Amino acid sequence: MDWITGEYELFEVREPDTHRIPFVFNSPHSGRCYPVSFLELSRLDSSEIRRSEDHFVDELFAAAPELGAPFLIANFPRAYLDVNREPYELDPRMFEGPLPPYANIGSMRVSGGLGTVPRIVAENMEIYNHRIPVEEGLQRVEAIYKPYHTCLRRLISRTHSQFGMAVLIDCHSMPGNIRVTGSNVRPDVIIGDRYGTSASPEISRAALHFLEELGFVAVCNKPYAGGFITEHYGRPVRSLHALQIEINRALYVDEKTLLKRSDFAALSAVLSVFMRQMGEFVTDYCSDLALAAE
């Protein structure tokens, strides 16, 4: 079935019964509803095309609404459209026809084939058999990218209005062979705060501390400091904080078969503890800030 025809929602917000903590969770890359029309354009088979997914990250963090925070989840696949990019990071080599003058054609992400409309999936596998019409790429931005970010902005704004602050947790996964830059350390989790610019140091330190206490090898920013979403929405001076969290896929999925490992549920349960700890910490942090302001 093709979700473009309305068989699938492009994205969904799972709301808590009561919004109790100043958090918004977001999973922009775990979508696994592939349009038939897209698959027909691709040279990749149904397994290869999935190599760019953040596999089952929406399920790993599924407890967010139970803990009192909304959770925005993309159902469209990252290989089709990547909302963790600027709206018009587009590669002219992919398209028939000229791109608009405002398109960013020179970013490192575009050069690497990973723009807003990706040219490749992981392992440098070309997606398309041939160039696609430029109108196709621009339509994806209009129909999916812009509504997705409108929804995310509204959730963050609502949270900020209710609590006086908002913390966005942008949820991702990373390949199992990732190492910390300049070392042989294989992290279980990487927290990205754009080198201290997208979240307060207290919130970033708390995240690392809780993860380490739970037994994870956790590091900050290397090699993933956060993408467009973290950079764009994190404004600590306005009490808008954004953290990217990358979970090592080898912890919970077989990267060849893309099937969940037997301890998937256990990992999800531990991440639920982490989310609860973060919620309690930030709630106390809000109270401390309020008292300091009196």
* CA-CA-CA-CA torsion sign (273, 279, 283, 286): positive
Structural contact between residues 108 and 101, judged by C-beta atoms closer than 8 angstroms: no
Structure tokens at 266: 């256990």
Confidence at residue 287, expressed as pLDDT on a 0 to 100 scale: 65
CATH homologous superfamily, domain 3-293: Zn-dependent exopeptidases (3.40.630.40)
Assessment of whether the complete model's pTM goes beyond 0.85: yes
Confidence at residue 181, expressed as pLDDT on a 0 to 100 scale: 80
Confidence at residue 1, expressed as pLDDT on a 0 to 100 scale: 34
Confidence at residue 182, expressed as pLDDT on a 0 to 100 scale: 81
Cα–Cα distance measured from residue 271 to residue 291, given in angstroms and rounded to the nearest whole number: 30
Confidence at residue 289, expressed as pLDDT on a 0 to 100 scale: 56
DSSP state of 142: I
- Give the closest residue to 77 by CA, choosing from 31, 120, 42: 31
Instruction: Burial-class residue 41 by CB neighbours within 10 Å (0-12, 13-18, 19+).
Output: middle
120-121 vs 125-126, strand pairing mode: antiparallel
User: Residues near 289 by Cβ (< 8 Å), separated by ≥ 6?
Assistant: 164, 165
Confidence at residue 123, expressed as pLDDT on a 0 to 100 scale: 77
Confidence at residue 8, expressed as pLDDT on a 0 to 100 scale: 73
Cα–Cα distance measured from residue 65 to residue 17, given in angstroms and rounded to the nearest whole number: 8
Structural contact between residues 253 and 223, judged by C-beta atoms closer than 8 angstroms: no
Confidence at residue 293, expressed as pLDDT on a 0 to 100 scale: 42
3-state secondary structure of 138: helix
Confidence at residue 4, expressed as pLDDT on a 0 to 100 scale: 42
Confidence at residue 220, expressed as pLDDT on a 0 to 100 scale: 97
Structure tokens at 124: 């440098």
Structural contact between residues 61 and 71, judged by C-beta atoms closer than 8 angstroms: yes
User: Residues near 47 by Cβ (< 8 Å), separated by ≥ 6?
Assistant: 258
Structural contact between residues 53 and 84, judged by C-beta atoms closer than 8 angstroms: no
Structural contact between residues 184 and 250, judged by C-beta atoms closer than 8 angstroms: no
Neighbours of 148 (CB within 10 A): 19
* CA-CA-CA-CA torsion sign (108, 112, 117, 122): negative
Positions in the chain whose pLDDT score sits under 50: 1-6, 290-294
Confidence at residue 285, expressed as pLDDT on a 0 to 100 scale: 78
- Give the closest residue to 55 by CA, choosing from 267, 274, 225: 267
71-74 vs 11-14, strand pairing mode: antiparallel
Return the amino acid letter for 103: A
Cα–Cα distance measured from residue 168 to residue 137, given in angstroms and rounded to the nearest whole number: 28
Structural contact between residues 62 and 76, judged by C-beta atoms closer than 8 angstroms: no
